[in-house]
Structure formats: C-alpha cells, structure tokens
Amino acid sequence: MGKFSPNLSTLYQMSEEHVIIIGNGISGITLARHVRKLSSKRITVVSNESNHFFSRTALMYIYMGHMKFEHTKPYEDWFWDKNKIELVNGKVIAVNTNHKCVILENSDELKYDKLVIATGSKPNKFGWPGENLKGVQGLYHLQDLESLEKTAQNNEVCKRAVIIGGGLIGIELAEMLTSRNIPVTFLVRETSFWNHVLPLQESEMLNNHIANNNIDLRLGANLKEIKGGENGSVKSIVIKETDEEIPCNLVGLTAGVSPNVAFIESTDIETNKGVLVSRFLETNIPDVFAIGDCAELRNSKEGRSNIEAMWHTGRIMGETLAQTICGQKVEYEPGHWFNSAKFLKIEYQTYGWVSAVPIGTHQHFQWKNPNEDKCITLEYNKDTLEFIGINTFGIRMRHDIFDTWLTEKRDVNYVIHNLPKANFDPEFYQRYENDILAKYNKQLSTLNT
C-alpha cells in the first residue's frame, strides 16, 4: 500500500499550484519571498549561476577583497529550506508552453502551473573582431569574476587592462583592477564620461576624478578590433579614431547589457529585445510572466524605458507580480525614479528626473563646491517652478523626503529652502545648504534684473 499513500504534506503540496521561477537574482528571489509570505504555493527557483541567491552588485567587492563570496548572500543557506523555497541548480534550455513544463540541460522536466522568467541580462557584444578571444570578457555573472581572477589576478599576470564602454559597470571594473595595481585604459565612446545621462558639470567632475585615480581615460574613443596572440589570448586592442594599438592582457566589455533570453526565442513566448510583457507583467502566453532585467514592457509608463536593467526595478517587479500570482491582480506601478551609484570615491544619488541637457520648459539649477568633489543639479520647470528631480554627488540625501516632495509637486523654491531636511550625511559632516541657497538667491536676483 505504502507507495500509494503519499504523506500529508506531499498531498497538500500537490493540491497547491507550482510556481517555477527561472533565475535566482533579485527579481526572482523577491517574487519567491513574497509569494511565500502570501501563500503556501509550491515554489521552485532554477538557476545555473549559483546555488544560492547572492548580490550581483557586490561582485566588485569580492575581487577587491572587501568581502568574500559568502558575505554577498543576503540570506543564510538554511533560509530556503525553512521557507519551503525549492532550489534547483540547472540550466533551462527549453520551455514547452503546451505541456506547461520547462526542460533542463540534464533533460529533467519540471511541470509548472505558473512560470516566471527572471533570467536577467548578459553583457553586450557588438561583433567586434576578436571579441571571443581568451581574456576578453564582461562583468555580469559570478563566472565572469572567476575568469577575471585568472586573467587579472595581479599586475604580473595582467600588465594592462583595457575597458570598453563607460557605464556604471565599466567604472566598477576600472576600480577593481586599480585596487590590484593593474594599469587600466578606459575607452569611452562619449566625449565626456556618461554625458548622455549626466549634465556636463557632473560628467566633467567625473572625468577629472577618474584621471586622478591613475586611470588612463580615453574619451571619444571607439574600439576597432581586438588582436590575439599565438595561444588564442588577447594581445592588444586598436582604437578606431587614432589606430593606436594598446597592448593588454585583459579586455573588459562593459558597453551595456541586454536581456538574457536566447532560450526563449525558440518558444512561442513573444520576445523583442527582452520578453515582452504587459503592465501586469504577463507574456502573450497565459500563466507565463517575466520580470527584472529580461522583461520588456510593451508600453512603459511615460518617461520610463521599456527595459530597465536595474536592481530596484527587478525588486519592485518581484513585489508586484507576487500579488498577481497570489490572486490579486495588480499593475506594475513604479514610483518616482531613484537610483544611486558610486564612481570610485564619489557617491551619487538621484531622485526624480534630471536630464543631461534640459529641454523645453525645463531648466537646471547647479551648485558645485570649488574644493571638493561635491555638486548638485536640480531640474525644474521654469514656468511653473515645479521641481522635477535632483542629482547629488558627494552629499547623501533622503529618499522618502524627495519622494514626498515629488508627489506633492513642490516647487524648486521650496526644495532649495528645505534642503537641510533632506540631508542624509553622517553626523558632524560639513553642511552645504547655506552655500547652495546663497548661490540660488544670487542666480534668482540676476534673473529678475
């Protein structure tokens, strides 16, 4: 008889829906945690990267020796068992939406009731000659860090590294390599660092800061080709504009990321760059959803992009979809934009929207400390004075205060006068609000006369 009388807990689990999540990054894991909070559904998370969720954003700190891999895991290993979240280490190679199952590389099949694709991104490659040589790599997965450990263990193995692409990951890679005294050449396509996102004042401050950290920053420089040596390893790169050849042992490709959805393309789940989803994060196939870096909204909220490869976006999508999966259908509704980053030593936070160059009725108010790497830019509407957003470098500010001000549609006057309330720097730090206010008043009076 025994064989036919499953114990109670299996029975119970069998009667529950099975939610399969592909990807154990922030989006997949947030979803799993919230589904668990809201229900007793069976949850399985599949990933081929690591057994347990770790923080991708902390990869750089492992290489720099600030942390070990274990420190980047936000939950202890017993957490998953305790919360009945099943973890499968494997790679999904196909999805059969008719039979509602996913197929793993080792040919295991897992049946789902609800499927969530949360497979994140992969580093961009643009078909550069030599981009598949040994020693050419991106920085995204844990495995990238492992190969970096080999190629760039120290400055004897790696005499020089060249980084292609001046974004947030590029600057992190530059900082990492510099921490091991590896000389870095940093090719940036733009004429000033990140100037398609940042106003000139800030972008130029970063140019200087990068150069001051002994990084050979090449602005307005594109990659022409990567040359290989005899054993298939990279030997040098050539810059398109000048034909200059730079010998190197490592080439870091950090020219952006794109959704990691290759294995979906053979299925009837619709994709463009990413997996196409509605505002409810549903794909074209019932019971199949996508969240995080790999999801592409068919029509995003005004002012937001369809793909946002960001930690917070993944988290918010996970929180949202958990509601829908647990029976309360809600729309993905991100609040006011916010983000933060660190450029070597300079911290950056942003709340609301600040464009590189204000257009239409929008205008910038800017302040910069003459001696230190600290500056802010406020964007506002010059007709209504409505506050649109703020970039702050070297001064920490409060998320909740700005979120409230944006919701209340405060004007720029109010924001400047109440800036002390938003300060989030540690105690005893020098304060700059008076200085900022003085500059603002001065600018105002010159405007009025």
Partner 1 sequence: MKDSTEISLSLARPDGTLSSKLKVALTLGCVGLLLLVLALFNIGLSSQGGLLIVAISLISIGVFLYANGLYINKQDGIKNNGVWFKSISSRGTIGWVTGVVLTTFYVVLYFYPKLLGLGIDGQPNSGLVALFDPLSSLLNGNDASQWFVYGTLYTLAILLFGYKFILKYRGNRYQQFRTFSVMLFQLGFAFLIPEFMARLNSNSFTIPSYDLKNMWPLSYDYFDQYSVDEFIQAGNIGLALLIFGVLSIFVISPILTYKYGKRWYCSWVCGCGGLAETAGDSFRQLSSKKLSSWKVERWLVHIVLVFSILMTTAVVGTYLGDDATAYWLTRKVFLIFVAAVLTLVFTLTMVFKRQELGKDARYGAIGFFVVILSLFALYTFGGSSDLLFISSGTLRSAYGFYIGSIFSGVIGTGFYPILGNRVWCRYGCPMAAVLGFQQRLFSKFRITTNGGQCISCGNCSTYCEMGIDVRAYAQKGENIVRSSCVGCGVCAAVCPRGVLKLENGSLEGRINSRDILLGNNMDVTKFAENKSE
Residues lying near ligand FAD in the complex (CB under 6 A) are found at: 22-28, 46-49, 56-57, 59, 91-92, 118-121, 139-141, 169, 172, 260, 263, 292-293, 309-312, 314, 341
According to DSSP, residue 97 is labeled T
Q: Which does 122 bind (CB under 5 to 8 A by kind): partner 1, ligand FAD, none?
A: none
- Least distance from C-beta 55 to ligand FAD, angstroms? 8
Instruction: Output the smallest distance, CB 73 to ligand FAD, in A.
Output: 13
The residue among 144 and 245 lying less far from partner 1, judged by its C-beta, is 144
Rounded distance between C-alpha atoms, residue 108 and residue 113, angstroms:
17
Rounded to 10 deg, the angle between the 26-38 and 311-325 helix axes is: 30
Give the nearest distance from C-beta 24 to ligand FAD in angstroms.
Answer: 5
Using CA of residue 44, residue 50, residue 56, residue 62, what is the dihedral sign?
positive
Q: If contact means CB under 5 to 8 A according to the sort of partner, which of ligand FAD, partner 1, none does residue 361 touch?
A: none
Question: Is residue 358 exposed (0-12), middle (13-18) or buried (19+ Cβ within 10 Å)?
Answer: middle
- Minimum Å distance from CB 15 to ligand FAD? 27
| Pairing of β 136-137 and β 250-253 | parallel
Closest Cα partner for 58 from 74, 45, 80? 74
Residue 232: contacted member of ligand FAD, partner 1, none (CB under 5 to 8 Å, by partner type) = none
Q: Give whichever of 158 and 264 is closer to partner 1, judged by the CB atom.
A: 158
Of 326 and 444, the one with the shorter C-beta distance to partner 1 is 326
Q: Which is nearer to partner 1, 430 or 443 (CB)?
A: 430
Of the candidates 247, 123, 234, the one whose C-alpha atom is nearest the C-alpha of residue 185 is 247
CA distance 43 to 129: 43
- Select 155 or 339, whichever has its Cβ closest to ligand FAD: 339
Distance CA(411)–CA(154), nearest Å, equals: 52
Pick what 140 binds: ligand FAD, partner 1, none; C-beta below 5 to 8 Å, kind-dependent: ligand FAD
Q: Taking CB within 5 to 8 Å according to partner kind, which of partner 1, ligand FAD, none is near residue 292?
A: ligand FAD
179, 165 contact by CB (below 8 A): no
Nearer to partner 1, 30 or 271 (CB): 30
- CA–CA separation, 210 and 214 (whole Å): 7
Q: How far is the CB of 229 from ligand FAD (least distance, A)?
A: 28
From the list partner 1, ligand FAD, none, partner contacted by residue 64 (C-beta under 5 to 8 A by kind): partner 1
Torsion angle, alpha carbons of 102, 54, 329, 304, to 10: -110
Which residue lies nearer to ligand FAD by CB, 325 or 416? 325
CB 119, min distance to partner 1, A:
19
CB of 37 to ligand FAD, least distance (A): 18
Q: Which one of partner 1, ligand FAD, none is in contact with 91 (Cβ closer than 5 to 8 A by kind)?
A: ligand FAD
Cα 449 to Cα 445: distance, rounded to the nearest angstrom: 6
* Minimum CB distance to partner 1 smaller for 130 or for 135: 135
* Distance between CA atoms of residues 244 and 240, nearest Å: 8
The binder of 70, among ligand FAD, partner 1, none, by C-beta within 5 to 8 A per type, is partner 1
CB of 95 to partner 1, least distance (A): 26
Q: CB–CB of 292/279 below 8 Å?
A: no
Tell which residue, 371, 136, 374, has the closest CA to residue 250. Answer: 136
Residue type, 266: S
